[in-house]
Structure 1
């Protein structure tokens, strides 16, 4: 009887119930799983607290309130588990050890897919991209990366004039037998179309030819049958044999060889002129570019960078012919240049309607120069596309910049699909004629991909 009474006493003090609880909790995970075990644990804890409250002597009011609050929180957590969607419970084995309960916020839960991150959670760059339109991005890029200060323009022009004067003096002193005309500056820096980090200048070096001994042959009458390329033929050989003209030394097959003249000038630039002395005098670094097919000088100043191209040229009436700058070996071809007419027409159109064609050209040029395929198209190609588009679109105000910018790219894509970009001033000339079919396909495909992107800015790699 004493043993029985002792067992009854143990049951009355709660240790028997504790053993049952411990047994259930130890085996609930196996029988009921993780979620079931959690539910059972919280429910059992709540019941145990009720029993303890009934069997224990009354405490002070503060202890009772704390216990009451703890009990209410336990039932609150239990109700949350019961109402939790099944999709939120971890299902995979590797997630069984993760906590099931998340911090309670006003007694409600939210589906993670329905939560939209606030602007404070986004990085600064993302917030900027979300709030700026294509129009604003284009204007911002023009202002921050393309626009060149007047001080840099003035400095670039002054350096170009000084270097051009040194080159002209050398040619007169060392190559006096060749009648060169007065060299003059041209290019985007001089015409106000410059933009970006490097300023582009052209040294135009006219050749003075005897009109009675040389005549121009149109491109369609030559073996290349291309109206863009002309030839200069030596005439009156029966009366004025070879040697009567100082340019006869550059004649190949009866024609004035642009290749021979360019090669001679390249030797002058690379081997004859003392550029270190000129650099020291002008306070900059001037050095020739070593590429065999180019007549270029690089000028590096602490404030600006200049790219100078030497252009042997011949003028006849309203035509300007430049020595053909082709990678393939050429002997007698002279390429007709429309640069002066292009720039004049573009500026005239903008002056008439206060347009943004020149700004659009700067932005396009900035994009194309950094692309591995698009860089094969020059500013001249872009100008002609702008001129063609100006025939059909009349609104070139600043507010329409983003629309016109995209339209120029779409117009260019159409020309690439056709494999032909007609010259604005002579439709017989295909400005894409110097590119291989594979190169045109590469440019067209990558441009199509960029235009297909929902965000054109990202598609252009900016």
Structure 2
């Protein structure tokens, strides 16, 4: 009767809790109600455990306690996906850190040491680990988890350059009439901004367009209204009819089609080159990635270690148009089904601005950027934040913050987290060079809730980002 009475009482409380939760969404919103639901479920677990027989196994009780901790700590979306283990690892790491601060128990048979005796080496090492400040841990994270070795970067750059040289030579021999400029490598690997591992680079394929025949149309002036979606219009058709320019064969209406340009390069390069022969020449496996909206190559075996681990290196081939001050790229992965739309890239401007600011005051902006990129890459909840988002946050911070010295590195890192939370709360991160571009435009409410939850946790416990 005692236990049945407990169950009836528990059901009554559960009914009240369920009623509150059903109305919480109206007051707190979806994200707030989800977090409240997680905390409430933990309380219900405690109530349920209070009604269990007293002779239940203690190991089972300990397991339930850990389950309740994981429920309270996990974000709604992480819990829904069933990957509470991420949070459990964080809790386990924090518990281990707490254990390190406890003295090592001494066997009863061993005589007590005098206070003047130095601690044993193992204990002294543990004590040293416990006194590390967050700034020290951040510096250690940067050295061990962020930076790439010079050898790794050199090998990746050389292989990418070799492949680019082979592609350019093949196009010049098979399609000598195609007006292309000199192909160049670009991206974070070349700008010392790649982190964690050297795994990608970009090959810029410049299309040579006659400035008198082609005019870029800014995204704001198109019917799409997207400030980074631009179009390239063919001009002077009454005086210089179609066929005067090589690229007239890629027109849709009166506009140069990014889709048609990509299709021609795909047939000319991806489907026509002798990749097995190139693999034998470069001593690494090179093959096109099939089914990708972008022109992409996959390289395996840059080094012996990467071949054994199965790591891949990717090169994205980007047809590029430069007209006036605008750099437009055929990035089909971004522009989607719009056949005549080109994407205006601001990467070069952002990278150059950061480098110039750091050079002027010997600042740590790029170091802060690279560390945040590594954190977002290693944290599942933050992986949708890319280098462009973080670069613009750092650039906006530079407008109001003058101290970017090495000693202020940890402070700027924490400040960037706070700034990101502010942008996520409004759902708007304006581009540094084009204020009408919202870099968060592609995020859903769930994306923003998940990233905001993780960053809110990091405000009080920033160490969780370094796990």
The two structures have a TM-score, normalised by structure 2, of: 0.68
Secondary structure, counterpart of 2:231 in structure 1:
strand
Are 1:316 and 2:300 counterparts?
no
- In 2, distance between residues paired with 1:455 and 1:245? 60
Q: Where does structure 1 lack aligned partners over 5 or more consecutive residues?
A: 1-91, 96-114
User: What residue in structure 1 maps to residue 454 of structure 2?
Assistant: 446
Are 1:118 and 2:125 counterparts?
no
Match of 2:425 among 417, 420, 425: 417
- In 1, distance between residues paired with 2:245 and 2:455? 50
- In 1, distance between residues paired with 2:323 and 2:229? 14
In the TM superposition, what is the alpha-carbon distance from 1:265 to its structure 2 partner?
Answer: 2.5
Larger radius of gyration between Structure 1 and Structure 2: 1
Once the two structures are superposed, the pairs formed by residues 212-231 of structure 1 within 5 Å of their partners are 212-231=212-231
- In 1, distance between residues paired with 2:418 and 2:409? 14
In the TM superposition, what is the alpha-carbon distance from 1:187 to its structure 2 partner?
Answer: 1.2
User: What residue in structure 2 maps to residue 363 of structure 1?
Assistant: 371
Residues 386-436 of structure 1: per-residue CA shift (max 9 Å, x gap)? 011111112212222221111111111211221211111221222222334
Residues 15-45 of structure 1: per-residue CA shift (max 9 Å, x gap)? xxxxxxxxxxxxxxxxxxxxxxxxxxxxxxx
- In 1, distance between residues paired with 2:54 and 2:173? 89
In the TM superposition, what is the alpha-carbon distance from 1:308 to its structure 2 partner?
Answer: 1.6
Q: Given the superposition, is the C-alpha separation of residues 164 and 128 from structure 1 closer, same or farther in structure 2, using an over 3 Å criterion?
A: farther
- In 2, distance between residues paired with 1:123 and 1:318? 62
Secondary structure, counterpart of 2:299 in structure 1:
strand
Higher relative contact order (CA 8 A, sep 6+): 2
Secondary structure, counterpart of 2:351 in structure 1:
helix
In the TM superposition, what is the alpha-carbon distance from 1:327 to its structure 2 partner?
Answer: 6.5
Are 1:175 and 2:175 counterparts?
yes
Secondary structure, counterpart of 2:383 in structure 1:
helix
Match of 2:405 among 390, 397, 410: 397
In the TM superposition, what is the alpha-carbon distance from 1:203 to its structure 2 partner?
Answer: 0.8
- In 1, distance between residues paired with 2:341 and 2:100? 64
Secondary structure, counterpart of 1:265 in structure 2:
helix
Q: Where does structure 2 lack aligned partners over 5 or more consecutive residues?
A: 1-52, 57-98, 106-121, 307-311
Secondary structure, counterpart of 2:313 in structure 1:
strand
Secondary structure, counterpart of 1:389 in structure 2:
helix
User: What residue in structure 2 maps to residue 162 of structure 1?
Assistant: 162
CA contact (8 A) 1:119 1:127 kept: no
Once the two structures are superposed, the pairs formed by residues 14-93 of structure 1 within 5 Å of their partners are none
In the TM superposition, what is the alpha-carbon distance from 1:228 to its structure 2 partner?
Answer: 1.6
Are 1:388 and 2:407 counterparts?
no
User: What residue in structure 2 maps to residue 455 of structure 1?
Assistant: 461
In the TM superposition, what is the alpha-carbon distance from 1:150 to its structure 2 partner?
Answer: 2.2
Q: Given the superposition, is the C-alpha separation of residues 126 and 364 from structure 1 closer, same or farther in structure 2, using an over 3 Å criterion?
A: farther
User: What residue in structure 2 maps to residue 293 of structure 1?
Assistant: 293
User: What residue in structure 2 maps to residue 260 of structure 1?
Assistant: 260
- In 2, distance between residues paired with 1:461 and 1:175? 50
CA contact (8 A) 1:250 1:256 kept: yes
- In 2, distance between residues paired with 1:363 and 1:117? 28
Residues 329-369 of structure 1: per-residue CA shift (max 9 Å, x gap)? 12111121122221111111112222211111111111112
- In 1, distance between residues paired with 2:351 and 2:219? 24
- In 1, distance between residues paired with 2:432 and 2:167? 34
CA contact (8 A) 1:269 1:288 kept: no
CA contact (8 A) 1:161 1:185 kept: yes
Secondary structure, counterpart of 2:203 in structure 1:
strand
Structure 1 range deviating more: 407-416 or 169-178: 169-178
- In 1, distance between residues paired with 2:251 and 2:365? 42
In the TM superposition, what is the alpha-carbon distance from 1:457 to its structure 2 partner?
Answer: 1.7
- In 2, distance between residues paired with 1:367 and 1:297? 27
Are 1:306 and 2:290 counterparts?
no
Aligned residues: 349
- In 1, distance between residues paired with 2:162 and 2:100? 61
Residues 229-287 of structure 1: per-residue CA shift (max 9 Å, x gap)? 21101122233333332212221132111122223323444322222211211122222
- In 2, distance between residues paired with 1:321 and 1:93? 70
Q: CA RMSD in A?
A: 2.8
- In 2, distance between residues paired with 1:94 and 1:204? 70
Secondary structure, counterpart of 1:313 in structure 2:
strand
Secondary structure, counterpart of 2:359 in structure 1:
helix
User: What residue in structure 2 maps to residue 203 of structure 1?
Assistant: 203
